[in-house]
Structure 1
């Protein structure tokens, strides 16, 4: 069984589209199709449902996918063992993330520095909803991911805490609550809220915060962009519970157009963490080390 056949099979299973899978593997579509057919002949079963859009796995294909990923990971680990002797980090590092303001964690700069330090390593980044991040790592689609940790990671994974940030109430400067130094959740009962997408972990956190306090609220608008959320709050459509680092003012915003008010304790926080397998790939382990080293140097005890 050739590794390239398994790699092409995994690419098609993950991309669910022949064009994207071929582009990912840098081959023509006919070459990808031929590779998948060769693998099907070798295992004696069809691995994909013919004619389906998007591409779907058969039961046999679904059974093969986890084993194929493990085989490719083992092959990569073997290659890396040789590279370690030469002091090189090579292969492919797949990182997942969700929108993070550099003021909280300078992810772009850290990623660029890591890539420069390991030029033989192919690094790719996918922006995905935080609620599915850990599952993508557990299923082998990602090597590691940055996410807002709400609970313990799934079995087989571990989470490395990075930084935390309190959520604050964002209101227009002329709102009746804007003069407060602190507000309680009961002060916000039945107020209109602008919220993030239900797939975001921040939304899960705010929903749970209000539910546990027994306080009702009205969500009148849902958005998938922090800047739009800020603009809507600033326009007076509603209020929001949000991380301050995400509510960056525009250059032409009037000064003090928005007030960020702390909540009375206990204050909800979002906890940025790196999730990765208990036994991570060499590249993921090295990336985790780079992140924790940066934080230890920039935020000494």
Structure 2
């Protein structure tokens, strides 16, 4: 079984707001563009994700809207949001693209012929594994597989939500627990430490307790990050209230700001270089356990399974 050229799907998408038209077809590339714009909230980021020109994606969305006879997006400020028709179309578009991935899977004779796509949710600020090396070798062995890298402004919580919703195939997670239907392969474990400026009054000590830090201004990651969830739970357990003066979208930024004297940071030690002081934490706080998550309810395609195997094989220790 060999798949050649653009795979086209008969327009049989039965939805409340879109009438079925049997005589026309929709190219899957238009569905891919539609799904990307829906996920990214705009044409610019969708084009970057698809490695395409913005004009190509804009034209594709316009073509799809003409074919279906409905408007799929409304503009709200600087974002594009789905109309009711767009919301109806989205799960069907995902289903078509997933079915195509499975067909490509069946057409694959061996790993050298591996095809399809893998959507991987990552943390850009931490080297959980040597991901660039993994992806370079993966692309050399499987040049027909498209790997899409995605992030979330709400950290690991957003990545896992995207995984459960089917917008990702694999995702890094640092959540203390994951929803039903998600399995996690451990990758890395990082203990919490206290980061301060080199001239901070506590800088000369080897360790400190959370109760001693209660009056300090804190720098931390935003809500939704796994480390924030773990530390907040520990503080609640100890009955400690704190004042967070700045929230960052990555842990290295927390360490940099704390080292600059803008507050104290209590985050996992990821090995990032800094010019401040680091202290051991005297309280028992669970370490941040980073793993690779995937859905357990359905069999992933071979490309996803292969990339997951390569990432897990690259973990240290």
TM-score range, shorter chain: 0.7 to 0.9
Query: 1:96, 1:133 within 8 Å by CA — same for their partners in 2?
Result: yes
Secondary structure (helix, strand or coil) at the match of 2:277 reads strand
CA–CA distance in 2 between the matches of 1:233 and 1:68? 45
2:284 alignment partner, one of 226, 250, 266: 266
Alignment of 1:156-171 (within 5 A): 156-171=181-196
1:182-205 deviations in Å (ceiling 9; x for gaps): 322222222221222334332232
| CA shift in 2, pair 1:120/1:190, >3 Å | same
Match of 1:145 among 162, 171, 181: 171
Aligned to 1:64, what secondary structure does the other structure show?
A: helix
Cα 1:268–1:99 shift into 2, 3 Å: farther
1:36 is matched with 65
- How many Å apart are 1:267 and its aligned residue? 2.7
1:234–1:29 CA distance, 2 compared to 1 (3 A): closer
Are the structure 2 counterparts of residues 32 and 290 from structure 1 closer, same or farther at C-alpha, using a change threshold of 3 Å? same
**What SS does structure 2 have at the residue aligned with 1:145?**
strand
Distance 2:219 2:202 in 1: 16
Distance 1:220 1:75 in 2: 48
Higher helix fraction: Structure 1 or Structure 2? 1
Change (3 A) 1:199 1:89: same
CA contact (8 A) 1:244 1:260 kept: no
Distance 1:187 1:143, change over 3 A: same
Q: Secondary structure at the match of 2:172?
A: strand
> Could you say if the C-alpha distance between residues 175 and 109 of structure 1 is closer, same or farther in structure 2, counting changes exceeding 3 Å?
same
* Change in CA separation of 1:145 and 1:236 when aligned onto 2, cut-off 3 Å: same
Q: Is 2:259 the partner of 1:234?
A: yes
Identify which range, 203-212 or 27-36, moves more after superposition.
27-36
Q: Distance in 1 between matches of 2:244 and 2:137?
A: 41
Matches within 5 A, 1:202-221: 202-221=227-246
Length, aligned pairs only? 283
Name stretches of at least 5 consecutive residues in structure 2 with no aligned partner: 1-9, 11-25
Structure 1 residue matching 2:230: 3-state secondary structure: helix
Indicate the SS of the match to 1:160. Answer: strand
Quote the offset at 1:47 in angstroms: 5.2
Residue 113 of structure 1 is matched in structure 2 by 137
Distance 1:35 1:151, change over 3 A: same
TM-score by length of 2: 0.78
> What aligned pairs does 1:56-135 form with structure 2 within 5 A after superposition?
56-85=81-110, 87-102=112-127, 104-128=128-152, 129-135=155-161
Task: Indicate how the Cα distance of structure 1 residues 218 and 28 shifts in structure 2: closer, same or farther if over 3 A, else same.
Answer: closer
How far apart are residue 7 of structure 1 and its match? 3.2
2-structure distance, mates of 1:234, 1:51: 41
Aligned partners of 1:189, 1:28: CA distance in 2, in Å? 50
Task: Report how far residue 11 of structure 1 moved.
Answer: 3.3
Aligned-residue Cα RMSD (Å) equals 2.7
CA contact (8 A) 2:191 2:286 kept: yes
Quick one: distance in 2 between partners of 1:96 and 1:149?
14
Match of 2:294 among 276, 288, 291: 276
